[in-house]
């Protein structure tokens, strides 16, 4: 454990002590772990190229021959809706959700972490409690509300809740991060005459960027994969998403097309992989690299 | 420190800011409500209202199609005294929580710490370890998982144990491993937390002659504790509510022989398959209370081990 | 300060804001219709059925220029969830496809329109009266069957022939079937069939072969714990002998042919519905054939023609006339029938069934031939099962799991099931 305890961003004078072997061991360990972890992904990828009779029945990793027609079928789209349309819809929903969550959750988190107001204790407790109720129990009341608002079969039920900070997970996450910031930062800002709004935007937000990025990444991926909400609120095939279309290949009552389903999964995976790759690098910057100016 | 108007709820709220030095209290309170306004609106319309409805439904017989009618505590009584499958689902869920949460968190923390020491290839490793979590518990993951843990599957071939997903004693392990495999979310949160630790602290400690192990114990652990606490609370809550991994691996049935019939899976089964939404709502509220109690305990213990920089040394 | 990073971050954030704005705009394009009547029509199925349905609907729109049909489909399980939530929210579609097991619940929950009110627009004269009656609840017609299917013993032709065991034939009994699977395991070394003990459908066939039924006409339980204990003892013994698939195989059934023992190459035969059996063609190298279900020891047939799906109209639709016209078109129009083929089961309209029979190809023809071989020899289908059956179907499997994993005796599991079933049917 001693080797792993060294922070990489610690000043080089300290970290440059010769621990080469330790580093090599860490790399080897990680690679070995990855080999095991990525095996099912390799399986997924390989299966998307298997002919129909090997998709489930065959227990070999590699297909006997590459069945590109799975991808061709998947790229044709579903129910007359092209795969690009589905992709666009997925992007709109996930993108809207990211913006909504980042804005609304950081606002609420700042109030909970740094400001004083009446009923803060009970409201904080209520917010935590909303994470605890299984969402299946509130599904129907929520559906009725959105139906009354005339929002069924639009994207609003999928995006609007994110702008209203209903995902307490992220509020709580940001509260934890903001509480980790030294109080003196704002004290200094306040003495300079900053109100709560300026100190939120200029002091707190930049410093919680790792949490904001984390929120963005998780929101994007989780919204993208959220089959159930999309299923119940979207009616028009034109409005369907990749995640919904994926399931159209599997119908227990007739014949399923598992090969194209796997191909579609791989296609649906690409945008979230790209999103993760694009944003994960921002995770590296935190206070440690941008430094404290206070 | 002036700890004034905050009552002590079960979930301890963050400490209040020290009284403003120049601005009157009213104005700052107003600012707080501006920040909170989206959350308040959402909480009332989209959360509180549906929650109240489901609480009411838990005291009714409601088949989704005909108006609910009041039955008092009947659902609760039936649940506790006449439904052996309910208790089986409780035991299954608790077993799962105890297996999956510590394993997943430990793995996430170890990998996050290992990545932190790296100079090269950090981005690659971070992405690669996160990759399984990108998938969620989609149908394709379920099929892959069954292929890997089936009889004649990869695990069977390597270890000669036979299939796991089709044996009552082992299916739960296969489901738990699916959760553990997707440890990307807590790992990323740990990484973000590690990044937030000011480099100055390590510099100062190094100047004082502290070794790595010492730095880890006296800087990394306390500075990371709010995030560790967050992960612990959230993963525990999510494990109690675990639905998709079991639904995916067992094809929604919770089999074999009810061995992966998690609490929420059974709740879903009662509410949406059997159309006993009243009963399902009662199950949901019992779960809420249990998770609430567990979380309250976690919050209470947190006072002794979670360190918040904003509150100074305590 | 890492300036370039910040820029990249801003660009990414800007892209997101833009997409959110677009998403907002996309949401408001609801009021398309241009003075036309807009019908919402939902169903479950696969992409092939979707393509054919779209074609048929386009034809309907051509014939009825004032109507626009908005279709939507999902896989079966997803569809059931979605429809239930829509119906609960008072938002059921105008025309919906329904399963046998949904009729009772949707009718008594006032989700479905009494079709007597649209008699003039929806002709049912050419549907077999016995089949049509399955869409009736308490004497009121709430739904019309759209296609029919029946259960079958589907088997690996090559393997079965090679084994030398007498082939399945019309009128064979359950004990002859049991002898056959016992002989098969001896000759082929793999179980003869999937363990039918977990299947409520197979149990129903066995029960009907003895002149009994799953449910009474008043929606109560139609059999006793003794009946069920006998059935499970029968299947449990075969399982212990290795003549039918072991619990570890049986538990993997999820509705798809790919996960059946036959589909995985671990058994010679399976029980399934006729049309979905086409899926085995891609999996079983030796080809598959369809045989009738075993009948009772005195030759009483247990299987029946079951509506594979129904069509119903939402009770709150504003366009009942148009909705009825759409259903009428899908059932009775010859051109529509040509387009749809057997994608929703063999057509129920008898004239159309005869006319289209010759045009069917491949497995559709196999299914049509199989059904016509049974024509006239089967008894009328039971009325739609009570809504509690939705839950009981799963309960049945769960209780049999306890038997096949040898945690309970067939007798005790059967008693458990009957207790649970009675509670379910009372509420």
Same domain, B226 and B104: yes
Picking from B185, B226, B292, the nearest residue to A176 by CB comes out as B226
DSSP A83: H
Judged by average pLDDT, the poorest of A195-204, C63-72, C167-176, C209-218 is: A195-204
Q: What's the pLDDT at B45?
A: 92
| Model confidence band, residue C6 (pLDDT cutoffs 50, 70, 90) | very low
* Cα dihedral sign, C396-C397-C403-C406: negative
Question: Cβ of C394 under 8 Å from any chain A Cβ?
Answer: no
Same domain, A70 and A87: no
| Model confidence band, residue B24 (pLDDT cutoffs 50, 70, 90) | low
Q: Indicate which CATH number applies to the domain containing B240.
A: 1.10.3720.10
- Chain B residues with CB inside 8 Å of C254's CB? 251, 253
Picking from B66, B256, B270, the nearest residue to C405 by CB comes out as B256
Distance CA A279, CA A282 (A): 6
Same domain, A9 and A130: no
| Burial readout C194-210 (b: 16 or more C-beta within 10 A, e: otherwise) | bbbbbbbbbbbbbbbbb
Q: What's the pLDDT at B147?
A: 83
User: Which of B33, B49, B76 corresponds to the end of one domain?
Assistant: B76
Question: Cβ of C52 under 8 Å from any chain A Cβ?
Answer: no
Stretch A25-36: mean pLDDT, rounded? 89
- Chain C residues with CB inside 8 Å of B258's CB? 398, 401
What range does the domain containing A21 cover? 3-75
Contact C89 A140 (CB under 8 A): yes
Distance CA A252, CA C96 (A): 18
Same topology for domains C37-149+307-374 and C151-303+388-426, yes or no? yes
Looking at every residue in chain A, the average pLDDT score rounds to: 83
Q: Does residue A110 contact residue A200 with C-beta atoms inside 8 Å?
A: yes
Same domain, A51 and A165: no
pLDDT digits (tens, 9 = 90+) for A196-241: 888 898 888 988 888 899 899 999 999 999 988 998 899 888 899 9
Probe site for chain A from C6, C23, C40 (most A CB atoms < 10 A): C23
Is B151 part of any domain?
yes
CB-based contacts of B193, cutoff 8 Å, min separation 6: A177, A180, A210, B223, B224, B226, B227, B228
CATH architecture of C151-303+388-426: 3-Layer(aba) Sandwich (3.40)
For chain C, percent of residues with pLDDT exceeding 90: 63
| Model confidence band, residue B300 (pLDDT cutoffs 50, 70, 90) | very high
Same domain, A137 and A183: yes
For chain A, percent of residues with pLDDT exceeding 90: 35
pLDDT digits (tens, 9 = 90+) for B232-248: 999 999 999 999 888 88
Residue A193: how many CB atoms within 10 A of its CB?
8
- Chain C residues with CB inside 8 Å of B274's CB? 388, 390-391, 424
Residue scoring higher pLDDT (C51 or C288): C288
Residue scoring higher pLDDT (B290 or A182): B290
Same domain, B205 and B297: yes
Closest by Cα among C82, C107, C101, C77 to C93: C82
A179 by DSSP, 3-state: which?
A: helix
CB-based contacts of B91, cutoff 8 Å, min separation 6: none
Q: What's the pLDDT at B53?
A: 93
Residue A13 has pLDDT above 50, yes or no: no
Q: What's the pLDDT at C397?
A: 93
Residue located via tokens 């739609």? C384
Burial class (CB in 10 A: 0-12, 13-18, 19+), C35: exposed
Probe site for chain C from B62, B275, B278, B282 (most C CB atoms < 10 A): B275
Stretch A231-252: mean pLDDT, rounded? 85
Contact B237 A131 (CB under 8 A): yes
Q: What's the pLDDT at C369?
A: 92
What range does the domain containing B302 cover? 84-311
- Chain C residues with CB inside 8 Å of B65's CB? 87-88, 105-106, 108-111
Stretch C219-244: mean pLDDT, rounded? 96
Residue C108: how many CB atoms within 10 A of its CB?
18
Same domain, A148 and A177: yes
- Chain C residues with CB inside 8 Å of A232's CB? 81-82, 85-86
Is B16 part of any domain?
no
Closest by Cα among C69, C53, C52 to C61: C69
The domain locations on chain C are 37-149+307-374, 151-303+388-426
- What pTM was computed for the model? 0.87
pLDDT digits (tens, 9 = 90+) for C338-366: 888 887 888 899 998 888 888 888 888 89
Stretch A259-265: mean pLDDT, rounded? 88
DSSP A238: G
Same domain, A179 and A280: yes
Distance CA A158, CA A244 (A): 14
Distance CA A257, CA C72 (A): 19
Residue B27 has pLDDT above 70, yes or no: no
Same domain, A222 and A87: yes
CATH of domain C37-149+307-374: 3.40.190.10
Judged by average pLDDT, the poorest of A3-17, B47-61, C91-105, C166-180 is: A3-17
Same domain, A29 and A7: yes
Looking at every residue in chain B, the average pLDDT score rounds to: 85
Residue C247 has pLDDT above 80, yes or no: yes
Distance of CA B156 to the CA centre of its chain: 31
Same domain, B146 and B244: yes
Q: Does residue A115 contact residue A196 with C-beta atoms inside 8 Å?
A: yes
Q: What's the pLDDT at A64?
A: 83
Same domain, A238 and A254: yes
Residue A61 has pLDDT above 90, yes or no: no
Closest by Cα among C89, C124, C94 to C109: C89
Same domain, A13 and A119: no
Distance CA A70, CA C305 (A): 35
pLDDT digits (tens, 9 = 90+) for C146-182: 989 999 999 999 999 999 999 999 999 999 999 999 9
Same domain, B72 and B122: no
pLDDT digits (tens, 9 = 90+) for B107-143: 999 999 998 878 788 888 988 999 999 887 777 888 8
Contact C26 A92 (CB under 8 A): yes
Q: What's the pLDDT at A18?
A: 58
Residue scoring higher pLDDT (C47 or A137): A137
Same domain, B38 and B110: no
Picking from C19, C81, C258, the nearest residue to A96 by CB comes out as C19
Contact A210 B193 (CB under 8 A): yes
Same domain, A223 and A90: yes
Residue C32 has pLDDT above 50, yes or no: no
Residue A8 has pLDDT above 60, yes or no: no
Question: Cβ of C226 under 8 Å from any chain A Cβ?
Answer: no
Q: Indicate which CATH number applies to the domain containing A210.
A: 1.10.3720.10
Q: What's the pLDDT at A4?
A: 40
Contact B166 C391 (CB under 8 A): no
Count of domains for chain A: 2
Stretch A171-180: mean pLDDT, rounded? 89
pLDDT digits (tens, 9 = 90+) for C290-345: 999 999 999 999 999 999 899 999 999 999 999 999 999 999 998 998 888 887 88
Same domain, A94 and A66: no
């Amino acid at each position: 454990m001693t080797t792993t305890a060294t922070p990489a961003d610690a000043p080089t004078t300290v970290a440059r002590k010769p621990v080469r072997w330790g580093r090599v061991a860490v790399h080897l360990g990680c690679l070995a772990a990855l080999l095991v972890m990525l095996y099912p992904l390799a399986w997924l990828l390989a299966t998307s190229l298997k002919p129909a009779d090997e998709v489930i029945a065959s227990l070999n990793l590699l297909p006997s021959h590459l069945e590109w027609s799975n991808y061709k079928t998947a790229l044709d789209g579903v129910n007359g809706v092209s795969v690009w349309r589905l992709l666009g819809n997925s992007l709109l929903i996930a993108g809207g959700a990211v913006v909504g969550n980042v804005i609304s959750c950081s606002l609420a988190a700042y109030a909970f972490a740094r400001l004083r107001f009446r009923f803060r204790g009970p409201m904080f407790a209520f917010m935590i409690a909303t994470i605890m109720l299984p969402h299946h129990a509130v599904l129907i009341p929520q559906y009725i509300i959105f139906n009354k608002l005339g929002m069924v079969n639009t994207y609003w039920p999928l995006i609007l809740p994110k702008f209203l900070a209903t995902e307490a997970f992220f509020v709580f996450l940001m509260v934890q991060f903001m509480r980790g910031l030294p109080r003196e930062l704002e004290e200094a800002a306040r003495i300079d005459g900053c109100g709560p709004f300026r100190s939120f935007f200029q002091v707190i937000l930049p410093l919680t960027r790792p949490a904001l990025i984390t929120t963005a990444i998780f929101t994007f991926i989780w919204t993208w994969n959220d089959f159930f909400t999309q299923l119940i609120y979207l009616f028009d095939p034109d409005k369907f998403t990749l995640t919904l279309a994926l399931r159209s290949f599997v119908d227990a009552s007739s014949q399923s097309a598992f090969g194209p389903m796997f191909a579609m999964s791989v296609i649906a995976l690409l945008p979230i992989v790209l999103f993760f790759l694009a944003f994960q690098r921002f995770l590296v910057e935190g206070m440690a690299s941008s430094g404290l100016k206070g | 420190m002036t700890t004034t108007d905050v009552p002590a709820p079960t979930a301890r709220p963050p400490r209040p800011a020290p009284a403003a030095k120049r601005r009157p209290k009213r104005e700052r309170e107003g600012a707080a409500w501006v920040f909170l306004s989206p959350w308040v609106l959402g909480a009332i319309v989209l959360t509180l209202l549906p929650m109240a409805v489901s609480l009411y439904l838990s005291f009714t017989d409601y088949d989704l199609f005909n108006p609910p009618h009041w039955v008092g505590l009947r659902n609760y009584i039936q649940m506790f005294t006449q439904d052996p499958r309910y208790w089986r689902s409780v035991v299954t869920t608790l077993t799962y929580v105890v297996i999956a949460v510590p394993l997943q968190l430990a793995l996430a923390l170890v990998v996050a710490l290992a990545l932190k020491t790296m100079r090269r290839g950090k981005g690659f490793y971070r992405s690669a370890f996160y990759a399984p979590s990108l998938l969620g518990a989609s149908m394709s993951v379920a099929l892959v998982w069954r292929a890997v843990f089936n009889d004649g599957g990869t695990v069977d071939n390597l270890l000669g144990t036979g299939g796991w997903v089709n044996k009552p004693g082992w299916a739960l392990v296969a489901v738990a491993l699916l959760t553990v495999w997707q440890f990307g979310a807590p790992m990323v949160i740990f990484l973000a937390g590690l990044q937030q630790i000011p480099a100055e602290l390590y510099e100062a400690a190094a100047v004082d002659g502290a070794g790595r192990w010492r730095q880890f114990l006296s800087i990394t652990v306390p500075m990371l504790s709010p995030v560790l606490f967050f992960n612990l609370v959230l993963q525990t809550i999510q494990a109690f509510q675990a639905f998709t991994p079991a639904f995916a691996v067992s094809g929604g049935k919770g089999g074999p022989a009810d061995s992966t019939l998690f609490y929420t899976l059974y709740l879903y089964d009662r509410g949406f398959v059997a159309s006993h939404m009243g009963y399902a709502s009662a199950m949901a509220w019992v779960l809420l209370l249990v998770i609430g109690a567990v979380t309250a305990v976690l919050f209470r213990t947190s006072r002794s081990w979670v360190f918040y920089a904003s509150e100074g040394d305590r | 300060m890492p300036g370039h990073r910040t820029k990249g971050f801003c660009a990414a954030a800007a892209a997101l804001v833009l997409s959110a704005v677009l998403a907002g705009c996309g949401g408001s394009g609801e009021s398309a219709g241009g003075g036309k009547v807009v019908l919402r029509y939902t169903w479950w199925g696969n992409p092939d059925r979707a393509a054919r349905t779209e074609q048929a609907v386009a034809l309907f729109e051509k014939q009825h220029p004032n109507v626009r049909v908005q279709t939507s489909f999902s896989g079966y399980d997803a569809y059931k969830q979605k429809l239930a939530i829509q119906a609960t929210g008072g938002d059921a579609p105008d025309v919906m496809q329904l399963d046998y097991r949904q009729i009772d619940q949707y009718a008594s929950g006032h989700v479905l329109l009494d079709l007597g009110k649209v008699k003039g627009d929806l002709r049912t004269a050419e549907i077999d009266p016995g089949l049509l009656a399955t869409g009736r609840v308490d004497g009121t017609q709430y739904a019309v069957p759209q296609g029919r299917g029946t259960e079958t013993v589907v088997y690996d032709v090559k393997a079965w022939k090679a084994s030398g065991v007498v082939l399945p034939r019309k009128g064979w009994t359950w004990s002859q079937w049991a002898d056959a699977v016992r002989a098969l395991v001896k000759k082929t070394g793999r179980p003869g069939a999937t363990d039918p003990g977990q299947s409520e459908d197979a149990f129903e066939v066995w029960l009907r072969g003895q002149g009994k039924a799953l449910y009474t006409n008043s929606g109560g339980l139609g059999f006793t714990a003794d009946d069920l204990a006998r059935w499970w003892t029968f299947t449990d013994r075969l399982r212990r002998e290795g003549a039918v698939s072991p619990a570890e195989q049986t538990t993997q059934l999820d509705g798809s042919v790919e996960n059946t023992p036959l589909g995985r190459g671990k058994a010679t035969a399976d029980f399934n519905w006729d049309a979905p059996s086409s899926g085995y063609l891609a999996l079983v190298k030796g080809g598959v054939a369809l045989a009738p279900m075993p009948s009772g020891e005195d030759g009483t047939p247990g299987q029946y023609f079951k509506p594979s799906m129904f069509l119903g109209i939402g009770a709150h639709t504003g366009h009942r006339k148009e909705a009825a016209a759409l259903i009428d078109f899908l059932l009775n129009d010859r051109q529509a029938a040509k387009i749809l083929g057997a994608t929703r089961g063999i057509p129920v309209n008898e004239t159309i069934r005869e006319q289209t029979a010759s045009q069917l190809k491949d497995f559709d023809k196999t299914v049509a031939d199989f059904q016509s071989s049974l024509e006239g020899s089967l008894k009328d289908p039971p009325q739609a099962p009570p809504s509690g059956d939705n839950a009981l179907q799963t309960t049945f499997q769960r209780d049999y799991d306890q038997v096949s994993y040898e945690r309970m005796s067939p007798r005790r599991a059967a008693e458990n099931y009957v207790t649970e079933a009675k509670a379910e049917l009372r509420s």
